[in-house]
């Protein structure tokens, strides 16, 4: 039995089991002037205001921020390596670390909100989320796997459905933050391999709460798990029934704006809302699915197409930008990782050169690239150079001027 098989077995045990993990507040880490990773608690409170672009990285389940964003895996590169090689982007990274993977996604979202306030306070003078009408420097969020769902819940709490109570399974009124009415902290939300419509994963009543929530509260043989904290979780987050993805043909159309509350189109200014960008592997090779729901694996065990729809990473909001990375663009995913190893595909996608290129390009240019230069990702251990966002800085200046003029009026 090789190392890949051992990894799959151990990961499945961790996913299905329900260990007792000590609850702890999340920690935020960043890079100092020398490029070393340090805790935010080690930085004096009276540090100078930062003018760089803040980017919050939100890790997924099981693996912590170090393994997700900074370590190399199976010959792949990492976000940490690419950030170190592209200091001209003037990005200040922040890494949240959830120390309790057994907690509810609702608790994750609350901690993300706390992190957002802390970070914005380092980049905006006199920052006060309860009274501020404008934020001069918005935050970009790059999240992976479960972290994308936790971030989506945080964003949904900022833009709750009008005239409707906030769903109890998503935290109810206690989840809603006390912010000013035009509070817009996030300019771009970049989701990598997100389980936007559930997981192709066996789930039992003893699985972690977050795993049950990601599967909408249903388990083996499509039976409800009868857990009030998980029942209809994804359906309520998406704002439509899970069965809506049970299509006989692909692709499914993007007809559900409720999947991206507060969103803006790629051609609108960051002051007009959040740009939702989703990046994932093609052909449903990942356990979160892809953008083609026509293929159903293990329909009576994990997909439940008749009651729970089909698994898609794709965001189905009209304004959402979806980027499906094909096998030719990521050769190692297409050749060295068999289709049956969906967990391995899921793990490696966040380390793939082109995925990192597209995510960081979007974070610095405030829009995804139309394409990737053919010589920057020759192999998966390539560390791509990302072009300087001159036009992006021009756009930020225009946004700032528009806000100042509106304030003067």
79-95 pLDDT, tens digit each: 999 999 999 999 999 99
pLDDT tens, residue by residue, 266-305: 999 888 999 999 999 887 888 898 887 655 555 444 456 6
Indicate the pTM of the whole model.
0.86
Query: Which residues face 278 on adjacent strands?
Result: 191, 322
Rounded-to-integer distance, Cα 343 and Cα 7, Å = 9
How much is the pLDDT for 26? 57
Rounded-to-integer distance, Cα 359 and Cα 77, Å = 14
Contacts of 186 (CB under 8 A, 6+ apart): 116, 138, 139, 140, 141, 155, 158, 274
Q: Which CATH architecture has domain 3-408?
A: 3-Layer(aba) Sandwich (3.40)
Select from 238, 147, 144, 152 the least CA-distant residue to 193: 144
For residues 53 and 396, the model is more confident at 53
Mean pLDDT is lowest, of 229-233, 289-293, 338-342, 345-349, for 338-342
Domain ranges of the chain: 3-408
How much is the pLDDT for 137? 92
Rounded-to-integer distance, Cα 239 and Cα 269, Å = 25
pLDDT tens, residue by residue, 225-276: 999 999 999 999 999 998 888 765 566 888 999 999 999 999 998 889 999 9
Predicted confidence band at 192 (pLDDT cuts at 50, 70, 90)?
Answer: very high
How much is the pLDDT for 254? 86
């Amino acid at each position: 039995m090789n190392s890949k098989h051992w990894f799959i077995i151990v990961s499945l045990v961790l996913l299905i089991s329900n260990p007792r993990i000590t609850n702890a507040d999340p920690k935020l880490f960043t890079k100092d002037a020398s490029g070393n990773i340090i805790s935010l608690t080690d930085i004096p409170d009276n540090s100078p205001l930062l003018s760089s672009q803040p980017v919050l990285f939100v890790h997924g389940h099981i693996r912590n921020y170090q393994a997700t964003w900074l370590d190399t895996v199976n010959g792949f590169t990492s976000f940490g390596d690419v950030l170190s090689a592209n200091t001209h982007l003037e990005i200040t990274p922040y890494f949240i670390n959830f120390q309790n993977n057994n907690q509810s996604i609702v608790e994750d979202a609350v901690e993300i909100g706390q992190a957002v306030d802390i970070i914005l306070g380092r980049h905006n003078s006199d920052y006060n989320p309860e009274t501020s009408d404008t934020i001069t420097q918005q935050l970009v969020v790059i999240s992976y796997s479960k972290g994308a769902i936790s971030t989506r819940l945080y964003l949904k709490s900022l833009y709750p459905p009008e005239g409707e109570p906030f769903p109890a399974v998503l935290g109810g009124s206690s989840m809603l933050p006390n912010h000013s009415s035009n509070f817009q902290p996030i300019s771009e939300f970049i989701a990598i391999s997100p389980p936007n419509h559930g997981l192709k994963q066996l789930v039992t009543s003893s699985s972690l709460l977050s795993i049950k929530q990601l599967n909408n509260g249903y388990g083996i043989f499509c039976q409800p798990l009868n857990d009030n904290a998980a029942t209809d979780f994804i359906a309520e987050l998406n704002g439509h029934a899970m069965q809506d993805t049970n299509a006989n043909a692909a692709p499914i159309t993007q007809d559900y704006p409720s999947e991206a509350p507060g969103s803006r189109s790629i051609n609108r200014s960051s002051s007009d809302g959040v740009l939702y960008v989703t990046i994932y592997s093609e052909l449903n090779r990942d356990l979160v699915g892809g953008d083609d729901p026509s293929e159903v694996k293990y329909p009576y065990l994990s997909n439940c197409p008749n009651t729970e729809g089909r698994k898609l990473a794709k965001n189905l909001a009209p304004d959402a930008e979806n980027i499906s990375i094909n096998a030719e663009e990521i050769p190692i995913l297409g050749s060295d990782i068999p289709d049956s190893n969906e967990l391995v595909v899921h793990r490696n996608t966040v380390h793939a050169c082109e995925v990192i290129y597209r995510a960081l390009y979007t974070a610095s240019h405030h829009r995804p690239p139309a394409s990737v230069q053919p010589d920057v990702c020759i192999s998966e251990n390539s560390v791509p150079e990302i072009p300087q966002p001159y036009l992006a800085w021009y756009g930020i200046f225009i946004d700032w001027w528009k806000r100042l003029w509106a304030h003067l009026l």
